[in-house]
Amino acid sequence: MNIKLKIWRQPNAKSKGRFETYPLNDVSSEMSFLEMLDYLNNSLIKDGKEPVAFEHDCREGICGSCGMYISGRPHGPQHRTTTCELRMREFKDGQTITIEPWRAAAFPVIKDLIVDRNAFDKIMQSGGFISINAGAAQDANSILVPKKNADEAFDSASCVGCGACVAACKNSSAMLFISAKVTHLAQFPQGRIEAEIRVKNMVAKMDELGFGGCTNTRACEAECPKGISISNIAKLNREFFVAKLKD
């Protein structure tokens, strides 16, 4: 198939970027979206041009680094799919595909399609952990976790921190991300110990870093490649208000 790509080019964080259009011929419908970009970059390099910078690592949907806004949607048109898992058969021959970086004040562009998602790390550092004295692993059955909690924790833990929820939200809110982390850790006896301080710190950090508030539009849930549900946000709200009422 032959396609046209309209890609955001920005040499560095300080410069003003713009869109460039590249025709690309003989694209295989079996290619992943990132392979298609590799293919484009090969031809750009051959022509002596600067290749398009994009972030990627695992290329199997588990690292969360490959986020980009494709044809008006985070990670492209396919439901519950990261960009690396997206195949070119989802597009039509002759189609113009627009590729933009995540747009959010909290995620500034570093280069081309790469944004700085450090804000997520800062939120995690503010409370997304369990403090334990690491030693020898203890017996697996010494702390019992009900199956229901284990399942919910597992669902929430599948968040890969890609930032699609922020990119999709009209308020650039990080609520889905935080709610996944808070719900995940709140399910375990070990996690309950710091549950209140965790939720307060993570929400405060989110507000401080310039993410917006939640308007419950459900755009995050619709675009999350891991299917994180906004029921996590309801749980986050519960945890937050209960913790805050005691202050």
Residues that bind another protein (CB under 8 A): 19, 69, 71-73, 77, 98, 100, 103-106, 168, 170-173, 203-204, 206-207, 210-219, 221-223, 229-231, 233-241, 244-245, 247
Instruction: For the beta carbon of residue 67, count every other beta carbon within 10 angstroms.
Output: 29
Measured CA to CA, the distance from residue 56 to residue 207 in angstroms comes to: 28
Measured CA to CA, the distance from residue 167 to residue 105 in angstroms comes to: 10
Measured CA to CA, the distance from residue 7 to residue 55 in angstroms comes to: 14
**Cβ contact 104:166 at 8 Å:** yes
Contact between 185 and ligand SF4 (CB under 6 A)?
Answer: no
Contact between 63 and ligand FES (CB under 6 A)?
Answer: yes
Contact between 187 and ligand FES (CB under 6 A)?
Answer: no
Cβ 228 to ligand FES, closest distance in Å?
15
224 binds, among ligand SF4, another protein, ligand FES, none (CB under 5 to 8 A by kind): ligand SF4
Q: Of how many residues is the chain composed?
A: 247
Measured CA to CA, the distance from residue 162 to residue 135 in angstroms comes to: 31
Contact between 76 and ligand SF4 (CB under 6 A)?
Answer: no
207 binds, among ligand FES, ligand HEM, another protein, none (CB under 5 to 8 A by kind): another protein
